[in-house]
Structure formats: C-alpha cells, structure tokens
Copies of this chain bind each other. A is one copy, B any other.
C-alpha cells in the first residue's frame, strides 16, 4: 500500500489485529482516545483525540499526518467512528465508504427515512430535537415507544417508555439529562411487538449482498444486559431466511453501500421482518467468530480488505455441519477473580470453542449488550437443542468478581 493507513478506532482489538495482516504496523497510524492505549501493542503509532467522533479534531490530526506522507486509506470499525471515517475518505478522496453513505448508516433517523423511501418496512418513528418533546412524540406514535439518540450503538442510551406518565417521570431522571447534554437528535419510535430479534451479517461487494448469515438473538437486546445473551444461526431452509434475503439487497441499495461488511438487526413479527437498524462494520460479541467457525469467512478480513480497496475473495464452505450458537457468559461490574477453565466447559454437548476473559479483567460501567466475561461457541442440529445446551453450560460455568 502506497501511503499510510489510518485506523480511526475506539478499543476494538479485532480491528488492529486484522489490519496488521494487510499492512505492516509501521504503515498504520491509529487515531484513538487515550483511555484505549493499553489495548494496542506498545510499538503502535498512536495519535490521540478527545473524541473519535469529533470531525474537526480528527481531521486536524489526519491533515498533519497526510502532510508528511499521504493517507492511502481509512479504516473506521467502531460505530462512533463511522461518520468521521467516511468524512476523511471524502475529504482526502480515498476509496471506500464516503461521508454520505456512512452518515446514512450512522444516523438512525436518516437511515430509516432512506429505508422507508425504498419501500423497506421499518418502525414508525419521529425525530425530535429536545427530550421534552418525548411525551408529544409518544402520543403521536402510540405507546409504548423506544427512545434513543440518532447516533449510537447497541442498547446504549436506549429506553422503552410505556406511557405518558412514564415519559413524564423519565424526563426527571439523569438518563433524560444525558439526552439534554447530547449533541445528537433523538429518535422516538414505535415499540415493535415481536416474536424475536434477529441479526443478519453480510459482505457487500459492488453493491451486491454476496454472503450473509441470519441469526436470532436469544432474547431481545434491550432485556439481555447482564444475562445469558447470544445468538443462534437460522438454517437456510427456514422461511425467515428467504424473507431476509429478499429485504437485504433493498436495504443495501437504499443506503448506497458499495463494498464492506454490514450488521443488520430486524424484528420478526411472526410473518415478516421489520428492519431495526444496520451498521457498516463487523458485529460485536461472538458473531464474527461464529461465522468464521461455521463458514471459514472472516468478516473482519472482508471489512479490512474493503476499507483498503482490496478484494476479499474467500469462498464460504461448510466447516461445521448444523448451526452454531454463540453464547455470552454473563458479566457484572468488578474485577474478575475466578473463572472456570475451558476444559470444564468442553464437556457440554456440541462444544466447539470458548474465549474466556483472564482473571484480573476489570469490568466497569457502562456495560452494554456486547459486554461478556467470555463467549462459548456450540454446534447444534436445531434451535430446539439450545435450551438443553444452555442448561448444561449454566451448570458448568462459574466465575467470581471483586467489586
């Protein structure tokens, strides 16, 4: 690669780990926040900003870097870095996703408006500028509603509000103050009554969905924090698989992504999918690894290659028969002082592998829907086996924290 590569990242260790497979570490400049320092090897070229989502601040650093050796590519794998990553690509005329497309993925209000215009079913929603408009917005949408910032990821700062009274009380909470102090608009949307929440992770090449995997979250995201989260693959014969494969190309076309990796979340009503949101980066948690184990497809490699304007031509193959579930081991705040061994877990039916946090790991607030003490991957013949496997896992897994 001629020129330097910028990695605009929070603390996603997968991002750097995969990037050095394509580009020597000396050719990589990481723009990040000081608190993530320890997550990078000591010889990494680190450049600090206070906020990786601050366009002006990041652009200033990038311009300085560019003036000594021009920037060839920008990799922006964390949700917060998507818009500024796109901005840098447009600004420096680099390959990959520019600002217009990145913004459509990052801003949920813009995203839903584009999807709606393209005939993709999404929840009814209103965008408000001040949290005090929540009551009126809820009245208009119909209660209950979900309220969240237009920019954000996972379940962070996302609340289900059941009625007018709850909305009024919510306005008195510190959570409402967060919205008051935030620079972002707020989206208030219809709460979808659903039979399950799904995620569908895909590789996009030349604007086409060339590979995707559909999985069901164990329980809707909003309720899983701190519990046994995870997701399980849906087999190709399932009607939901066909339904999502009809929707996905429309979503990608509506948002204009040419090359990259997407993580879409959708609600299944029992008869159809309603698209929740979609991002243009690999999913968090155990999702990428579950796909790697099953199909040999590395979403992080595909994402990194697309960011560098390189081809990712790996063909999917069935490495493990059946379906794979990735199971998040529950987490709590505090220092992990004891945890079971992989050996103890390996005796559960269908065990494939497990990644466990080492003793000493500190888990601090805010925990989110991707927080876990570890992830266990199991192979199943069908969805029906999940409950038994989870039961076995719960019996064998143990950990201890010190607050």
Contacts and interface: CB of A to CB of B under 8 A. Distances in A.
A22 interface: no
A104 B114 CA distance: 23
A105 interface: no
Interface in A78-127: 87, 90-91, 93, 98-101, 103-104, 107, 109-110, 113-114
A109 B56 CA distance: 20
Most buried by B among A63, A91, A100, A113: A100
A103 B90 contact: yes
B113 A93 contact: yes
A55 interface: yes
Interface in A53-85: 55-56, 63, 66-67
B93 A129 contact: no
Interface string A164-202: 000000000000000000000000000000000000000
B93 A109 contact: yes
A130 B63 CA distance: 11
Interface residues of A, number: 22
A66 B100 contact: no
Contacts of A91: 103, 107
Given A99-B100, A100-B99, A93 B66 contact: no
A351 to B, nearest CB: 47
Contact of A56 (B56, B63, B130): B56
Interface string A216-248: 000000000000000000000000000000000
Contacts of A67: 129-130
Contacts of A56: 55-56
A189 to B, nearest CB: 16
A100 B98 CA distance: 7
A254 to B, nearest CB: 12
Interface of A: 55-56, 63, 66-67, 87, 90-91, 93, 98-101, 103-104, 107, 109-110, 113-114, 129-130
Given A67-B129, A90-B103, 18 more contacts: A55-B55, A55-B56, A56-B56, A63-B129, A66-B129, A67-B130, A90-B99, A90-B100, A91-B103, A93-B104, A93-B107, A93-B110, A93-B113, A93-B114, A98-B99, A98-B100, A99-B99, A100-B100
